[in-house]
Amino acid sequence: MVNGEQKIPAGAGSEAGIAAATKLILTEDATRFVTELQRRFNHTRQELLHRRALRQTAIDAGEMPDFLPETAAVRAGEWTVLPVPEDLADRKVEITGPVDRKMIINALNSGARVFMADFEDASSPTWANMIEGQANLYDAVRRQVDFSTPDGKEYALNEAPATLMVRPRGWHLIDRNVEVDGEPISASLLDFGIYFFHNAAELVAAGSGPYFYLPKLESHLEARLWNDVFVFAEEELNLPLGTIKATVLIETILAAFEMDEILYELRDHSAGLNAGRWDYIFSMIKKFRNYPEMVLPDRGAVTMNVPFMNNYTSLLVKTCHRRRAHAMGGMAAFIPNRRDPEVTETALAKVRADKEREASIGHDGTWVAHPDLIPLALEVFEQVLDGAPNQIARQRHDIEVAASDLLDIAVEGGRITESGVRQNVDVGIQYLAAWLSGNGAAAIYNLMEDAATAEISRSQIWQWVHVGASTDSGVKIDKPYVGRVADEEMERLRTELGDDAFVAGHFEMARTLFERVALADDFANFLTLPGYDMLPGATGSRKQI
């Protein structure tokens, strides 16, 4: 409520809704808090981004990643993270999704142990999505997040909702809607700061706490920055050290070499690590994009059983359990197709096998994108855990992973096919059309696609073009060929959707963005960076601080 009068939002995305959410969220005290975060920590954030660029230059020059000699003592030490609160002990199934009001209610009511409300890859960063998302979470924490559809359908929280976690945007992103000292604010600090300021004390009073997922980290120094932010935030709000708990997504190849160190930096605040599989594949392509010998085949062939994927998840489990931290599994992105039971049955068998693999190697829980997958995933983990909330006590001393194992991209039978090229172009354009329309989680071909899978699509095209790859049928993958495929896919989409829906769906703009990040001479680190400049509604009324 705003002054006890108007519900949030007053029509999602409407001017009234944005104004009401802004009034609720960007209070004088809240803006003062995020201003201080920006002034204290943004310089370090920028230095760390510069370190990323230097690291990429070194990789391009032939310096392959390895475990850090300067942190060998941390890896060898016998330390553990602090225990997590009771409502984070059992994380067998977590569901993720964007921060729109209906999604929040359905996810919290879904039967999953945890709902991760996502300001990052599952949300298109329009100002309406970001500010109304904060208002929606404000209401959810206070159990007043009811929602009515125009046709009269009512949504409200049940008596035992999932534990809430929040994923702020990554260190690389800014938000131009809030400026501090004439510069756009760090999106990470804005998302974290606003949510923490408004909700931390309320969550603690209710027996929970401010819990986060941290995306896109590439080093333990980036984890150290988050820890510094957490310590400052807790002190400012007079909360005990360790009130904040955060799970780090290991979704970059460089972070995989520093898992011990990342846990160590966050040891007072750590809630474990998560195997962010889709971004991890993207990271492998991105970091070694200039290496012809590191080219991956069609993305469908890059399963969790290929060496570099299997090895990093095994190391993650071993590392987490040694440090008494949760080791969370990856996303099952399948969406059940109620109109085609055969498709659903085949996909569910694959999901079951994937979750059985995760539980068997020691993961303490897993992610799903759709509520219909929760019973299956829960059954698998409950069978293995046999009444326990997790299997942290299960040590994996038998696992040994060398640096070369993390870089082993061998894919038995893997090929680059013409259909693989077409799939990347098709899915990339369709996802970007949804993203430019304000939807960051798009259902495409029975899969819930987010920015991570679009990153795989465009980065594979970029690498295949730049290393001069050909398909298994001998077709050279160059810019003209990709352009012809895009022409054909655009024509097909126009025919299937009709002219009006095609134009309204931002497909022409999506193609422009896709080709900008897939065919440019220089590789864009994240498609969301140039995408933000093209996103309708990304910038509303700027707030100068």
Residue with tokens 């991570």: 452
357 flagged as catalytic? no
CB 479 within 8 A of CB 519: yes
Decide: residue 195, CB within 10 A, 0-12 exposed, 13-18 middle, 19+ buried: buried
CA distance 299 to 453: 9
CA distance 442 to 98: 11
**N-terminal to C-terminal alpha carbon distance within the chain:** 25
Contacts of 413 (CB under 8 A, 6+ apart): 301
Alpha helices by DSSP H, listed for 272-411, are: 277-287, 307-322, 341-361, 374-385, 403-406
Strand partners, 115: 95, 164
| Inter-helix orientation angle 127-141/101-108, to 10° | 40
Q: What are phi and psi of 70, to 5 degrees?
A: -70, -15
CB 34 within 8 A of CB 195: no
Peptide bond into 9 cis (omega under 30): yes
- Token digits of residue 80: 């553990």
- Which residue in 100, 139, 260, 450 is the catalytic one? 450
| Inter-helix orientation angle 187-205/28-60, to 10° | 130
Number of DSSP helices (H) and strands (E) in the chain, helices first: 20, 15
Listing DSSP states for 161-214 in one string gives PPEEEEEPPPTT-EEEEEEETTEEEEHHHHHHHHHHHHHHHHHHHTT---EEEE
Residue with tokens 């879904």: 110
Q: Which residues of 289-324 are buried (b: 16+ CB within 10 A; e: fewer)?
A: beeeebbbbbbebbebebbbbbbbbbbbbbbbbbbb
CA distance 193 to 170: 13
AA letter at 445: Y
**3-state DSSP percent of the chain in helix, strand and coil, to 5:** 50, 15, 35
Listing DSSP states for 386-426 in one string gives TT-S--TT---TT----HHHHT----TT----HHHHHHHHH
- Which residue in 167, 169, 322, 396 is the catalytic one? 167
> 3-class SS at 460?
helix
Contacts of 193 (CB under 8 A, 6+ apart): 30, 33, 34, 37, 233
Q: How many CB atoms lie within 10 A of CB 161?
A: 19
List the catalytic residues: 167, 450
